[in-house]
Amino acid sequence: MYKILFLILTVVSLNAKMIDAVAIVVQNQPITTYEITALMQKRGLSQKQAVDFLIRKTLEDIQIKQRNITVTQDDIVNEIKRIAAINHMSVEQFYTALQNSNDMTVQQIQKKTKERLLNQKLFQAIAFAHMYAPSSDEIHNYFKLHKHEFEPPSSYNVIIYSAKDKTYLEQKRANPLFYSPRIASEIKVFKPDAISPQLGKILSLIKPGHFSKVLPNGSGGFICFYLQSVGKPIKTTLSHVKAQIINQLMMQKRKEVLSRYFKQLKLNSNIRIIRLPKTAGQ
């Protein structure tokens, strides 16, 4: 009996080691097979995408330590307050919204906020040394190519659907004819100059005749928008949107600088692939 029990425990232990073995070593920092598999399942990534993501994240973490970049608890609290205010929520409502939509604890929310702030500081430090302001020609050409992006509709005619349980709204999105007494609806007309930038961004990404994603409403429930139609575009000039264009060009340059930096860093780093988890069909 004891021999059988010992054998079972040994097999379980060996399987556990195989499932969560070291897959990749980046500058002496391990990435496990479990981390790769978990990320593939959570985000629907291919194995290559998951591996690339985890290698990049590990390189970022190493850079943060090497540059002695830190974030205080006050930084975390102030950032959460800032994001809550932007979304017209109290801090408590913000926590509740994330807990309901992403099933996260307060500690997990603060941890994610800390990671994001650390990365922002790292990216700023890298980009600062390699970026320059866009020229007049760059600004003018960008405006010509993307003028439509700076001419929003004069109005958004929407139906706002709301429910306590987001499952009902997901069903509504999948089947517009779906009806449930648990879904409330309200017809609204939004003017771009009278709504928050966040709501404007959400509405601008919806095509007429389509739904937005299901979003937390800040009060423990959920909403989604159905865009019925839009008004005529609001005409604009380069002088009115120059600051926005400069901001967008700088964001593009920052993204390009970071991409080049981490590609080069990856080439120059000691990265050893030991084993990769088996995928379906292997």
The CA distance from 85 to 106, in Å, is 17
In the structure, what pLDDT confidence band is assigned to residue 184 with cuts at 50, 70 and 90?
Answer: very high
* 51 vs 37: CA distance, rounded Å: 9
Stretch 171-195: mean pLDDT: 93
Q: Which of 139, 154, 132 is nearest to 235 (CA)?
A: 154
Predicted local distance difference test score (pLDDT) of residue 54: 96
Other C-beta atoms closer than 10 Å to the C-beta of 243 total 9
Q: Is the pLDDT assigned to residue 65 strictly greater than 90?
A: yes
State residue 113's pLDDT score: 95
pLDDT in tens, 7-59: 333 434 444 444 579 999 999 999 999 999 999 998 899 999 999 999 999 99
User: Which pLDDT score is estimated for 16?
Assistant: 43
pLDDT attached to residue 171: 95
Tens digits of residue pLDDT in 103-151 = 788 999 999 999 999 999 999 999 987 888 899 999 999 999 998 888 8
* Residues paired with 273 in a beta bridge: 24
Per-residue model confidence as pLDDT tens digits over 223-276? 999 999 999 998 999 999 999 999 999 999 999 999 999 999 999 999 999 999
Residues of the chain with CATH 3.10.50.40: 152-230
Q: Is 204 exposed, middle or buried (0-12, 13-18, 19+ CB in 10 A)?
A: middle
For 76-86, what is each residue's pLDDT tens digit?
999 999 988 88
Work out the burial of residue 168: count CB atoms within 10 Å of its CB; fewer than 13 is exposed, 13-18 middle, 19 or more buried: buried
| CATH topology (fold) of 152-230 | Chitinase A; domain 3 (3.10.50)
pTM exceeds 0.75 for this model: no
Rounded to whole angstroms, how far apart are CA atoms 211 and 157?
12
Q: Which residue has the tokens 């089947």?
A: 175
The one-letter amino acid at 46: S
